[in-house]
Structure 1
Amino acid sequence: MLTLVRADAAPPWLREWISVEAEATLIRWFEPSLIPGLLQTEAYARAVLTGGGMLREAEVEQRVTSRLARQAVLTREAPPEVVFVVDEAVLRRQIGDRKVMAEQFAHLLEVGELPQVDIHVVPAEAGMHPGLAGPFILARTTDGAEVAHLDNQLRAQVTNRSEDVDSLQRAWERLRGKVLPRRASRELLAEVAESWT
């Protein structure tokens, strides 16, 4: 039932991904410009969705509802292992007001305590890296298949084509070589959190 609610509130082009995400055993998510949707607070998500001025109020509310409902995947019974990697610029970009950012960072630090969740940061000094080409998500399904999700201005693309998945897996491995370890990433999150309070 929850999956149906999430799917109905989501844009049609995202529904296929939501069903993959709901059943995944492993999710690897890279974001170069925003906090990943599964980690966003309601206020941050609303600020993201209203910030561009492209959506009507009803669409914003529908997408916020869908985004928040999808987060149940992190705390469901037998949740997937989830590894988030964000570019350091994400932490320093103000979305909404300072209160929104302070709340978002408190949430990041809390979710980062879940045993199946890792949050890593690609530090600014890493310079050029493969993730700068855009966000992507890799999910492993219960049958061991790999599925990728790519986002752009118009819609999401979901693919399980081996060439696409292999390319994104290589990008992921190169990215992982640039990230701060879990503890150093958490320390950076805590440090930047202080700057938003």
Structure 2
Amino acid sequence: MECPKTWFHRRSGIAGFDRSPVWFRDWLIIEREATLIRWFEPLIVPGLLQTKAYAHAIIAGSGMVDAADVDLIVTARLDRRDLLAAPKPPTLIAIVDEGVLRRCVGSPAIMAEQCQFLLEASAHPHMQIYVAPSSAGVHGGLGGAFTLAKARDFDAAHLDSPLHAQITGRRDDIDSLTRRWEAIRGESLPRALSLELIEDVAKSWQT
């Protein structure tokens, strides 16, 4: 894996660093230093955009975390959102599959709150949220979630697996994922229509 030396030097003050798995800490550093984060999720709301209730339902409902550790992991996940409120926050562009909005995680009330949170987040100039609609059918994002992070002196990508994070800075990997990102973006609704869909789904969870 090609990567800048700075990835492996702990930065003081990184929210949730000590409460996060060791294998995830390198990504927390990258995430903190990035100026642009592009995130695609086909199954769940991106971690940086999850509400407390949604995060708790996802983590507790997985059945893979000890009950005593759930609250600690939830807190660590929410702490990561601090970077979006920094004086110079990164630009966050997130694309979620429509199924993410329509999958009941926890309860209808939790989903209504989560959809409303996405709408509120999208009002910030440094955050953009798009939806890949079900009508798109097969598209380049069905292979799984991934995140691209860009800073002045590096590009990096993060891919999830059930066991650990895969982080790469290889040029070929970044180029391949960037092409995949653009393909997904091309299948997604425009920003205004994406927000209209999120609002409609939020209302459906309230009925």
Q: How high is the TM-score relative to the length of structure 1?
A: 0.96
1:40 partner letter: Q
Report how far residue 59 of structure 1 moved: 2.4
Output the CA distance in 1 between the equivalents of 2:170 and 2:72: 31
Which consecutive unaligned segments of at least 5 residues does structure 2 have? 1-11
Q: Residue 175 of structure 2 corresponds to which residue in structure 1?
A: 166
2:141 paired with 1:150: no
Output the CA distance in 2 between the equivalents of 1:158 and 1:65: 23
1:113 partner letter: A
Q: Residue 199 of structure 2 corresponds to which residue in structure 1?
A: 190
Aligned length: 195
Partner of 2:86, secondary structure, is coil
2:41 partner letter: E
The one-character-per-residue Cα deviations of 1:80-111 (angstroms, maximum 9, x if unpaired) are 11100000110100000111111111111111
How many percent identity over aligned positions?
49
Q: Contact 1:23–1:142 at 8 Å: present in 2 too?
A: no
Q: 2:29 aligns with which of 13, 19, 34?
A: 19
The one-character-per-residue Cα deviations of 1:110-137 (angstroms, maximum 9, x if unpaired) are 1110101000000101111111100000
Q: 1:105 aligns with which of 96, 115, 124?
A: 115
Output the CA distance in 2 between the equivalents of 1:45 and 1:37: 8
Partner of 1:82, secondary structure, is strand
Q: How high is the TM-score relative to the length of structure 2?
A: 0.92
Report how far residue 2 of structure 1 moved: 3.2
Report how far residue 62 of structure 1 moved: 1.9
Give the CA RMSD over aligned residues.
1.0
Q: Contact 1:11–1:63 at 8 Å: present in 2 too?
A: no
Q: Which of structure 1's runs of 4+ aligned residues deviate more than 6 A?
A: none
